[in-house]
A = this chain, B = another copy of it.
Amino acid sequence: MPRRSSTSPVSSRDAILTVAVELFAERGYHATSMREVAQRVGVVPAALYNHFDGKDAIFVELGTRYFDAMYPALEAARHAEGDAADRLAAMVAASVNTAAGLRAEHMMLTDEWRTIRRSEALSVLAARRRACIDLWHEVLAEGAVDGSLRTDVDDSSIIWLLFAAITSLVDSGYWSDIAVKPSPPLDDVCSVILDGVRRS
């Protein structure tokens, strides 16, 4: 049998990332302390610095993991079959599937976006996000050309609403004070964006 990495079946490094992403998503960046991360991992705070340069580095690694999965998924969906409206729907589905597998990373990035933009150390994540946003803009522009999407509404407004829809699907439990049912089906929310709430 091949030997495991060094000491433990799951490395301390992975344990730190697992604990940290949950705390970042639940409490936010500033309200999460290295002390608490260490405590939940079961080590002393100083031990964290054997694996990461600091709190910033942990956050950046988690965010990088997210975009490393999200960008290729969006890129693939962007070339799906059908008109631009179909490809838009495929991108929403791809986003939800990818983000659902990285739920805590998604919530962390969504809720701490101001922190990312204000921090020099975290700004690398802003560029990764920008690349994803550009893919959404592209498909919306194609929808204006092939006539499958409305042209009278600003692309940015539509993208904002799409992000909100994706987040609501990824973490429906988070807003449990609004929600009465768990996790509405993807197609329902997607159809709201495509067709609206007014009965036609």
Contacts and interface: CB of A to CB of B under 8 A. Distances in A.
Given A111-B114, A178-B133, A197-B158, A191 B30 contact: no
A152 B188 contact: yes
B180 A155 contact: yes
A57 to B, nearest CB: 19
Give the most central of A130, A147, A184: most B CB within 10 Å: A184
A180 to B, nearest CB: 6
A142 to B, nearest CB: 13
A117 to B, nearest CB: 8
Contact of A114 (B26, B129, B156, B194): B26
A196 B157 CA distance: 12
Interface stretch (A11-19, A40-48, A74-82, A161-169): A161-169
A162 B30 CA distance: 29
Interface residues of A, number: 55
Contacts of A194: 196-198
What is the oligomeric copy number?
Answer: 2
A124 interface: no
A177 interface: yes
B30 A188 contact: no
A157 B192 contact: yes
A118 B111 CA distance: 15
A189 interface: yes
A177 B114 CA distance: 12
Given A154-B179, A154-B180, 16 more contacts: A28-B28, A28-B114, A85-B198, A126-B177, A129-B177, A133-B178, A150-B197, A153-B191, A154-B188, A156-B184, A160-B178, A161-B189, A163-B164, A191-B196, A193-B197, A195-B196
Interface of A: 26-28, 30-31, 85, 88, 111, 114-115, 117-118, 126, 129-130, 133, 143, 147-150, 152-161, 163-165, 168, 172, 175, 177-181, 184, 188-189, 191-200
